[in-house]
Structure 1
Amino acid sequence: MLLWHGAPGSPDAQYGNMEVDGLGYAPCVTSARELAASGWERAHEVVGGRDVAGALYPGRWGLWLNPHAPGGGVGVPWPDLRRIAAGLDRLPAGPLRLSEPAIEVPQFYALLTQNAHRTPVVRALRRAWVQPAVGAPYLAIGLDLYDEGPQALDAVQRMMRQSLGVLPDGLPVQTVSLADGYDPVALWMRAGARPFFDREGYGAGGPPPAAPAGYGYPPPHGMQPGAAPR
């Protein structure tokens, strides 16, 4: 990593920075040979990939590899650094294509809505169709919770298990916390997906009324309140 200020390991050390298309990146070189070729005359420090990813992405800084190279090098946006920091097998590969789900699974949404109403920790639920750059697309359920403690998460996992049985075979579903300010799926849902379950929208007491047709709601021919799923 190229240091603009300070010495390696010092409290006042600061990485260099650059802006590309309105996004911030910290420049780096990938080897001693590239460091010599870059002509960098200030200090530098050697940092592992996961360590630097974990240091940069919380500030929404990306990493730019070998900016001196022919063609200008290669940039790694901060969402991809987040994936590196968390583990490549734990988060979907970006860039992600996000949209409203087109697949019709009204029984699942209706049953999940009923189970969410019985799970007091759930404030609201949203949904999205996620197509990673690598791997199969999946249905994402966004969880807006009053509490994210261990007991609350156990209740949410139980709610999901009770609802997944009505899904068609082979349809993958993942959950995402809407409180995660770095998850691109959560950010998209909060900005553009209407809740299909909203506890506070129902008012106090009694079962939820039938939801009007529209974005984020099961179609009118879906399961009605009190009906058993099939």
Structure 2
Amino acid sequence: MTGAAGDPGAIERALRAVAPERWEAYETLLGALAAGQVWMLLWHGTPGSPDAQYGNMEIGGHGYAPCVTSPEQLTASGWARGHEVISGLEIANALYRTRWGLWLDPHRPGGGVGVPWADLRRIAVGLDRLPAGPLRLSEPQVQAGQFYTVLEQQAGEVRPLRSLRRCWVQPVLGQPYLAIGLDLYDTSPPAIEAARALVQRAAALAPEGLAVSTVMMADEFDPVALWLWANARPFFDRDAGHGHPGPAAPAPQHPTGFGYGVPPQQAPAQPWPQQPWPGYPGR
């Protein structure tokens, strides 16, 4: 399937500007990828065929599906098998759900640039809706006694709410904020809305200038939720008694990969094209 491309050269221009620690340039690349299209390299089959399978690369122990960013780069890559043109939004939505990243132009000198699955998730959900990384996550040090008191006092009235956790989130771009993890018995829209409304009411008593956000603990793809499961004890736990810490949080069942942001850039271990391991199914 061919995705729309408002500016065919935007991804390549953004790609040339990306370098370690240049987070603004990387964010521009993500925006160009969200609005553009890529040429996915098929190891097996043809576009739309039942046996279509994307190529694969393993970099730093993590899986990436390779692609190129233009017909010219497809020619330069020397790829002699099939390919599929797809919008950046569609491929991001497909890959992040299986914790696969996307590697752009691996044939280029230096090996191209990898986009980890957590950043593909940002593209799929909306770049303006999730914080830019890499994220620094830690225990909150901010004093917000009234805010926490109201949360603990009123949390018992929100019956779908099992527990509350908290962490301090510092994005690489943008302002830091306090994240409240919502662990629910029932994740239906009304239950989620009730829990978020609780936090919103309490936020009126938060210190001036403190940004507060919520994260669903049931979201197995959210790096903040995964950190909370692994590192934060509940400050409200219905099962253990209101306002008392529960048992130690379970470890996350899924790896977070590189998290947000450009992974350590390293060229493929073998000259391109390298022999891939079993590929991610194509569309």
AA partner of residue 183 (structure 1): D
- Inter-partner Cα distance in structure 1 for 2:227 and 2:174: 20
Residues 55-70 of structure 1 aligned to structure 2 (within 5 Å): 55-70=94-109
Structure 1 residue aligned with 2:143, among 104, 120, 145? 104
Partners of 1:73 and 1:157 lie apart in 2 by 41
Q: Does 1:182 align with 2:233?
A: no
Tell me, yes or no, if the aligned pair for 2:196 and 2:214 is still in contact at 8 Å. Answer: no
Amino acid at match of 2:91: V
Q: Deviations over 1:124-180 (max 9, x none)?
A: 000011111211111000000011213212321331232112111111110000000
TM-score by structure 2 length? Answer: 0.71
Out of 62, 76, 98, the residue aligned to residue 115 of structure 2 is 76
Distance in 2 of aligned mates of 1:22 and 1:91: 25
Paired positions, count: 208
Structure 1 match to 2:16? none
Matched-pair identity in %: 63
1:77-116 CA distances to partner (integer Å, 9 max, x unpaired)?
Answer: 0000000011111111121111111111122112101111
Distance 1:161 1:180 in 2: 20
Structure-2 separation of matches of 1:69 and 1:47: 21
Q: Which residue of 2 aligns with 1:142?
A: 181
Please report the RMSD computed on the Cα atoms of aligned residues, expressed in angstroms. Answer: 1.6
Residue number among 187, 194, 200 corresponding to 1:155 in the alignment: 194
What is the CA distance between 1:211 and its match in structure 2? 4.2
Rg: which structure is higher?
Answer: 1
Secondary structure in structure 2 of the residue aligned to 1:28: strand
Does the 8 Å contact 1:2/1:45 carry over to 2?
A: yes
Task: Tell me the TM-score normalised to structure 1 length.
Answer: 0.87
User: Which letter maps to 2:98?
Assistant: G
Q: SS of the residue aligned with 1:125?
A: strand
CA contact (8 A) 2:44 2:51 kept: yes
Deviates more, 1:6-15 or 1:80-89: 6-15
Per-residue CA deviation, residues 13-48 of structure 1 (Å, 9 max, x unaligned), is: 111011111111000000111111111111001111
Contact 1:66 1:72 in 2 (8 A): yes
| Contact 1:115-1:162 within 8 A present in 2 as well | no
Q: Which residue of 1 aligns with 2:53?
A: 14
**AA at the equivalent of 2:93:** G
Higher relative contact order (CA 8 A, sep 6+): 2
What secondary structure, in the 3-state scheme, does the structure 2 residue paired with 1:181 have? coil
